[in-house]
Every structure is written in structure tokens, then in C-alpha cells.
Structure 1
Amino acid sequence: MEAIANSHYIRVMPFLLEGLKYTLLITIVGLIFGFILGAIFGLARLSNNKLIYGLATVYVEVVRGTPILAQILFIYFGLSDLLELNIDKITASIIAIAINAGAYIAEIVRGAVYSIDKGQNEAGRSIGLTKAQTMRYIIWPQAFRRMIPPLGNQFVISLKDTTLFSVIAVGEMLYMGQQYYGKTFAAFQALTMVCIMYLIITIPTSVYLRRVERRLDV
């Protein structure tokens, strides 16, 4: 028992649990803002206004067409230099997740709304609802049900993307694992536990999403 307790697989855990706090904080807060951005730009991509549609399309294509690592460095170093601001590492990480995930969520929103039968919109207008009211009370609730599985997948993707924040020394799980094996040289054990910690989060999430998908029949 003493050998197990003193093994690197156990001794690295306090480091990883400390990193887990930041991993979940960045992922959850980033995705909340990402969903807001995604909803706005996703609906904008359905607009008949060419300017609104064009701006939304530029945002989506630029973000999806550039690596998230480049976006992280641009936000943390580039914007700090341009605006002469000292952007906190955690704040920069949340902004990066929000902007990156927002572009992909915009396409999820656009696809979900577009998939709703056009007759639903016509039915809403026929009973006297405005276009906005039809979207709010008829289209959006149905579309949101269809968004749930891909939004869950985006959570898993963004969670794994947090490992990239180690390049700006954010204390997420991978960075904390690196700190541990930098002191102990137990790289195999530390990185094994990092992978296991991510699997502990992602596998139950994936299983739950499949159940939700079956229950919603989407």
C-alpha cells in the first residue's frame, strides 16, 4: 500500500486536480459566452441583410480557417501589444475559447434553425405572430432540441482544446502535469494520468449525450 501511495500515479493527482479547476472554468465560462456569440452570428447567417450576413460569414470563416493555437497567441500577445493592455492569462483563455467555439456554434445554430420545416414559420405568421415572435416561440425551441447533441460535442472539443493554453503557462491539467514531471522526470506516469483525467470527463459526457439524443429523437 505504501508503494502505491508513493507512486507517481498518485503523487501527481494534487497537481492535476489543481489544473482541473482551471480546465473546467475556462471551458464552461468560455462556452457560455461562445454560445451567446454563436446564437447571434448563427442567426445573422440566416439574415437577408447582406451586411449582417457578410459580417457574420467573415467571423465564422476567419475563426474556422485559422488554428486555435494562433488565436490564443494573437489574443494573449497580439492584442496585449496592440491595445497596450495586460490581459490576464485566464481571461485570454476564456476569450479564445469563446471566440473559437462561437464560430462553430454559429454553424450549429444556423443548421438547426434551417432544418426546421418552413411551414412552421408560415404557421406562426398566419396566427399573427411577428417574425421575431415566431422565431422565439416556435422555431427556436424546436431548433434548440436539435442543437443539444452537437453542443455537447463542442464541449468535449473545447475541453480538449484547453491543453493548448499550456503555451501561455495557464495552469490547466496538461501544464500541471508538465510541471510535475519537470521536477520528478516521471513523464510517462504524469502524462498517463493526464489522459485518464480527460477520459474520466469525456467518456461519461459522450455516453450521456447519446442517451439525450435517443430521448429527444434527434
Structure 2
Amino acid sequence: MTATTESPAVPEAPAAPARPRAGDAVDLDDLDGLRTVPARHPWRWGAGIAALVVVAQFAHGLATNPGWDWATFRLYFTADTILQAIGRTLELTAYGTLLGFLLGAGVAAMRLSRSTILRSIAWAYVWVFRSIPLIVQLVFWFNLSYLYKRFGFGIPFGPTFGEFETVGVLSALGAAVLGLGMHQGAFAAEIIRGGIIAVDAGQREAAAALGIPRLRQAWRIVLPQAMRGILPAAANELISLLKGTSVVYVMAIGELFYQTQVIYGRTGRVVPLLMVATVWYVVLTTVLSIGQYYVERFFARGAQRTPPPTPLQRLRTFVEGLRARSQPAARTSGGQP
């Protein structure tokens, strides 16, 4: 008879919890023991720190490099000649924008017309004026009196009833406005046409079925919806035209860039005078961008029931939140002995 020895019982390892499968309900109590590990993004932090270092180096150079000559910059930044040049720049921008978008609206209507002749003429206008550089157009309009000494009114290919000399009517400023407006009109026509054709055709069909006149359809139904697509590109063209007015320096018109050229040609301080023009262009562009934001917000009312808060509203909410958090702390500290 043989004796047998039993090995000691080995405790069984606890069974690993079953991993939930996709679609299974997860009990929140099962997640209490899990350790939360925050996601780490070392490359993102590294890129951000490198960008901050580059920005800090650039700011340090602006502050310490004597070549920027900030004393001359402060001297001419609000000089009377510079402020008058800014007024002329804004004048050219306003006239060019008004003429360009009025002309662009007419050309866009011609391109959307059912007449083949009108569509062909409008397409040719857009093709020509988008193809020729702005500076070439300005020089051409400035020398228009070389081609046409006089203009007259009368019967086509027949006698004229009244004439006037081109030089006496089309001055340098008039030629600049005409060139800017004709150039802007080609781009404005495509912007307006694109916004109109982006509106669903069913909107016009429904309005026509209700017997709404075509003019009222365009003014009350099509245009408000098209403006949401027109405004961003139109504001972009307006800002581009503001900067494009610097090209009229070839016509010796005293706008901002031409006036800074005159001053640094006399003083030899090129860099600080260029910074004067640069900062003023940035300021003017910023003002136009703020106006664009509020105009777009106005026309977005039909698409958004609750428009996003404006920067001023966000700042007010932030200040009120800080004030609300500070008041309980003040009451708590005041109630302690």
C-alpha cells in the first residue's frame, strides 16, 4: 500500500474583467478603478515653444535694433502730410469701391441675362479687365487724352451737338478713380454673380408661383440670401483695393505710399517712413475688418437664430464672471472674525 501526497492548493488568480464590446452598455461603477492618464502632446508643446521663441526674438529686434529709428517713426506717424495722405487714400478707396460695385452689379445682371449679346459683352469686359494689371490700366487712363483729344455728344457715327476736351475733365485723380473702379468692377461682377447663383433656384420658383413681382423677388428674397455669400469676398476686395491705392503713386497723387516716398526721399529715412505707411495700412485694414464682422453678423440673422456673441459681448461676460467670482470671496472674508 503506497502513500500519496497531495500538493498544496494554488489560489486561482482573479479573472480579468471582461472588456466591453462595441454596443454593450457600460456600467459606470466598473470604471471607478481605472486610472485616468492625460493625453500628452510633446510635439505640439515643442512647436508652440519654438514659435514663441521666434516671436520673442523678432520683438526684441524691433525694440533694440537702432535701424528701425522709432524716433523718426513717432515724428512722422501723425504728421499733417501723412494724415492728409490717409484722407486721400480713403477717398480713392471709397470712390473706387462705389464705382466698382455699381458697375459690377450691372455687369453681373448682364451676365445673368437671357440675351446672348449682353452676356457676351459682360463676359468680354470681365475677361479684359481681369487680365490687365492694375498699374497698366492706371497708366492707360492717365494718358487717355493722348488717344482722344475731345469727347462729344451726338448721333453715333454722325454729327455731334457738344464737345469738351479730355484734359479738362479727366484729371489725375479722375483717371485714378476710373482705373480703380473699372478694375474693381470686373471682380465685383463675378462676386455678385456667384452670390446670386448660389441661392437655391427653388426660392425664385416658389416666389414666382406666389405671384411676387420679379423686382420684389430680387430685393426681398434673393438679395438677402445672396449677401451672405457676397459679403466675405466683397470685403476682401475692399481691403485689397485699399492697399491697391498705393499703385497710384505712378500718377503722382498724394496718397499714403506716395507721400512717404516723398518724405524719405527728402530725409533719407527709408525704413521708419515705410513703417509709418505699414502701420497705417494695418490700422485701416483692421477697421475695415471689424466693420466686415458686424455687417456679416447683421445679414446672418436669417440663418442663425442666436448669432454668436461679439468680442465686446464676450469681454463684458468675462468681466462680469470675474466680478461674480470675486464677490463671494469678499463676503466670505468679511464674515470671518
Deviations 1:166-199 (Å, cap 9, x if unpaired)?
Answer: 0010100000000101110011110111111100
Q: Say if 2:227 and 2:299, in contact at 8 Å, map to a contact too.
A: no
**2:285 aligned residue:** 202
Distance 1:133 1:200 in 2: 39
Q: Say if 1:149 and 1:212, in contact at 8 Å, map to a contact too.
A: no
- Partner SS state of residue 7, structure 1: helix
After TM superposition, list the pairs within 5 Å mapping 1:36-75 onto structure 2: 36-75=102-141
Q: Which runs of 4+ in 1 moved over 6 A?
A: none
Matched, 1:172 2:172: no
**2:82 aligned residue:** 16
> What's the CA shift for 1:142?
2.1
Matched, 1:29 2:95: yes
Distance 1:204 1:136 in 2: 29
Report the TM-score when normalising by structure 1: 0.90
Deviations 1:75-98 (Å, cap 9, x if unpaired)?
Answer: 111x12112221211111111111
Q: Give the aligned CA root-mean-square deviation in angstroms.
A: 1.8
Distance 1:210 1:138 in 2: 22
Q: Percent identity?
A: 30
Report the TM-score when normalising by structure 2: 0.60
> What's the CA shift for 1:129?
2.5
> What's the CA shift for 1:141?
2.6
- Partner SS state of residue 128, structure 1: coil
Given candidates 113, 126, 130, the residue that maps to 2:213 is 130
Name stretches of at least 5 consecutive residues in structure 2 with no aligned partner.
1-69, 150-165, 304-337
> What's the CA shift for 1:210?
4.2
Distance 2:91 2:277 in 1: 17
**2:147 aligned residue:** 82
Matched, 1:159 2:246: no
**1:3 aligned residue:** none
Q: Which has the higher contact order (CA 8 A, sep 6+)?
A: 1
**1:112 aligned residue:** 195
Distance 1:206 1:131 in 2: 34
Distance 2:258 2:207 in 1: 52
Q: Say if 2:130 and 2:187, in contact at 8 Å, map to a contact too.
A: yes
**Which amino acid in structure 2 is aligned with residue 49 of structure 1?**
S
> What's the CA shift for 1:144?
2.6
Distance 1:17 1:120 in 2: 48
Going by fraction, where is helix more abundant, 1 or 2? 1
Larger radius of gyration: 2
Name stretches of at least 5 consecutive residues in structure 1 with no aligned partner.
1-5
**Which amino acid in structure 2 is aligned with residue 184 of structure 1?**
T
**2:183 aligned residue:** 100
Distance 1:117 1:132 in 2: 17
- Partner SS state of residue 132, structure 2: coil
Q: Higher mean Cα deviation, 201-210 or 15-24?
A: 201-210
